[in-house]
Structure 1
Amino acid sequence: MNAGYTLNRRGFLIRSLAAAGATAGAGMVPGLLAPRSAQAAGALVYSGFGGSYEQAIRAAVLDPYAQARGIALATATGGSDVAKVSSMVKAGRTEWDLLDAQGTTLAQFAANRLLEPIDPAIAASADVFDRSLITPHSIPWYQFSLNLFWNSEAISGELQSWADVWNVQKYPGKRAFSNLPWFSLEVALLADGVPKDKLYPLDVDRAFASLDRIKKHAVFLSASGLANAISAQEVVTGIVNLARLKAVQKAGVKVRYSWEQAVFDIQQLVVPKGAPNKENAFGAIAYSLQPDSQKRVLELLGYTPTLKPVLAGIDPKQAEDLPGTDATRHKGFYLNADWWGKNGAAVSRRWQDWLAA
């Protein structure tokens, strides 16, 4: 697969596949329903992140699956909101069937016992690149990364480490970070000299002390907020989801990025306890782990597949610029979801207090 082809055609593919799904929905599939209607109809209610991401995920996986199964589909947002999912499950009123969860969210769901166990047959047949990443509740779906970036019109040369980002004397300007504590604490420790293979368990006090030194030079934003700030050239360096950064690049903003000290994470589709249509949800998970589904996620979003045969089929040149391949994996590190599952609630409270101070 040619990398330029993949990125340049992304918008066209999203529109084409989404249109195909909508056309199919008008025929054999009841179509896209409101969540409550879909729940009552025995369909599938997916809760993710909305926007262009949802459009691509529908085009790559959900619409083709609903068409093949002959069921209706509804979408919602907020599926990564641990407090909201917890409230639903504990009240016995789960409204969603399928949630889109990254590593830290998955760990918190699991720690709070909010998930249905994965169908063992699905786990047994999943030929993923690292079976140790399979949990009792999930199977790795795709890989993504957050990378160090810089505006090449504001900064000459190359930044090679988070210590460079913290060097405001040499590289003046506003920094941009995630408004979530995960990712932020890790890069703060790297900037303070902690080796990437010695990060966990996180030294939380040391991380916040490092963040104290950069705070007045920084903004802390959502994923979309980060992309907007980079597009508007309001920040000169920081951390961002690589797929979003590539979209900014494609729009003409002069930004570059490094694979050194990149943060890798795993995305999973999971089923909340009490899901009204959990069998359809398990079917969607199995469908997402088919080679063609993973290839479409790579084409539409630039995220790296987890299936070994699909990984093996990626053009070596393209693999050099994808998260979690043999070419990039050794340059960064994987977020430790287990640590965040055990410590995320306490650290998040401290994080919110620190942001507000």
Structure 2
Amino acid sequence: SNRLKHVFSPLLLSLAAGLGCVQAAPEMVVVGYGGAGQKAQDVAFFQPFSAIDHSKLIQSEYNGEMARIKVMVDTGNVDWDLVQIEGPDLMRGCEEGMYEPLDWKVLGRADQLIADAAQACGSAALVWSVAIAYDTDKLAKGPASWADFWDVTKFPGKRGLRKRAVYNLEFALLADGVKVEDVYAQLNTPQG
């Protein structure tokens, strides 16, 4: 097939391991975002799955470049078996036929997942939030809003943001005074 074999989620691997209904190839390439998160997934999901399935899991990482996945699919040179991606990328890639659809009747246990986790081409596995954090040793009073976050005069020092525009654009619009409920409508305009 010219599609990425599966969209990875730790939950999907654990389901497969628990059910015994999904069998991996002797080697399976699992791609995630790396770092401490992937190390934790290795201990919690990859190693147990590999022990049950007797497959060798080869791990790799990427930074969410959908273009890289599209090139693999378009050239038919797909060398990833499972990939961890974000929700919007899952929906877009599934709609474009870049991922293999999943048969939840065969996989089973979709009813045990959080609402709407079982998708046509993957499964939600992580829920997270974004917060503003600061070093109390350097700032007695820290930023309390996204406008404060961007105010380098009032709050000097380094900032940490994602490499991708996702979320950063939303934060910038909130800092500019756009209401939460209007952020995506604003992003859908030429100015956005």
Same fold (TM over 0.5): yes
- Offset, 1:111: 4.4
1:75 counterpart residue number: 59
Give the Å deviation of 1:161. Answer: 1.2
Pairs aligned (count): 167
Deviation at 1:124? Answer: 5.7
Aligned counterpart in structure 2 of residue 128 of structure 1, from 93, 101, 113: 113
Partner Cα distance (1:71, 1:168) in 2: 50
Q: Deviations over 1:63-91 (max 9, x none)?
A: 10111122222222238332222121122
Equivalents in 2 of 1:70, 1:174: separation in Å? 46
Residue 149 of structure 1 pairs with residue 126 of structure 2: no
1:112-261 correspondence to structure 2 within 5 Å: 112-121=96-105, 122=107, 125-131=110-116, 133-203=117-187
Report matched runs for 1:258-297 at 5 Å.
none
Would the alpha carbon gap of residues 127 and 199 (structure 1) be closer, same or farther in structure 2, given more than 3 Å must change? farther
User: Which of residues 70, 87, 90 is equivalent to 1:103?
Assistant: 87
Name the CA distance, whole Å, in 2 between partners of 1:66 and 1:79: 24
**Root-mean-square deviation over aligned CA pairs:** 2.6
* Aligned equivalents of 2:164, 2:141: Cα separation in 1: 29
SS in 2 for 1:46: strand
Work out the CA distance in 2 between the residues paired with 1:194 and 1:123: 43
Equivalent AA in structure 1 for residue 156 of structure 2: P
The percentage of counterpart residues that share the same residue type is 26
Q: Which one has the bigger strand percentage?
A: 1
Cα distance in 2 between the residues matched to 1:199 and 1:134: 27
Superposition map of 1:306-325 within 5 A: none
Of residues 27, 42, 45, the one that matches 1:43 is: 27
Contact 1:166–1:191 (Cα < 8 Å) also in 2: yes
SS in 2 for 1:60: helix
- Which one of 25, 35, 55 corresponds to residue 39 of structure 2? 55
* Aligned partner letter, 1:192: D
1:110-148 CA-partner distances (Å, limit 9, x unpaired): 3432111122224663423322x5431122111122321
CA distance in 2, matches of 1:154, 1:206: 36
Secondary structure of the corresponding residue to residue 47 of structure 1: strand
2:175 is matched by which residue type in structure 1?
A: A
Structure 1, 62-71 or 121-130: larger mean CA deviation: 121-130
SS of match in other structure, 1:149: coil
* Alpha-carbon distance in 2 for matches of 1:76, 1:47: 5
Amino acid at match of 2:42: R
Q: Structure 1: how far apart are the matches of 2:149 and 2:78?
A: 43
Q: Does 1:91 align with 2:75?
A: yes
Q: Which residue of 1 aligns with 2:6?
A: none
- Residue identity opposite 1:125 in structure 2: A
Q: Secondary structure at the match of 1:194?
A: coil
- 1:72/1:205 Cα in 2 relative to 1: closer, same or farther (>3 Å)? same
Aligned 8 A contact 2:87 2:124 in 1: no
Give the Å deviation of 1:109: 2.2
CA-CA distance at 1:195 after TM superposition: 2.2
Deviation at 1:151, TM superposition (A): 2.3
Displacement of 1:205: 5.5
Provide the C-alpha distance between the structure 2 equivalents of 1:44 and 1:171, rounded to a whole number of angstroms: 47
**What TM-score do you get using the length of structure 2 for normalisation?**
0.73
Gaps of 5+ in 2: 1-23
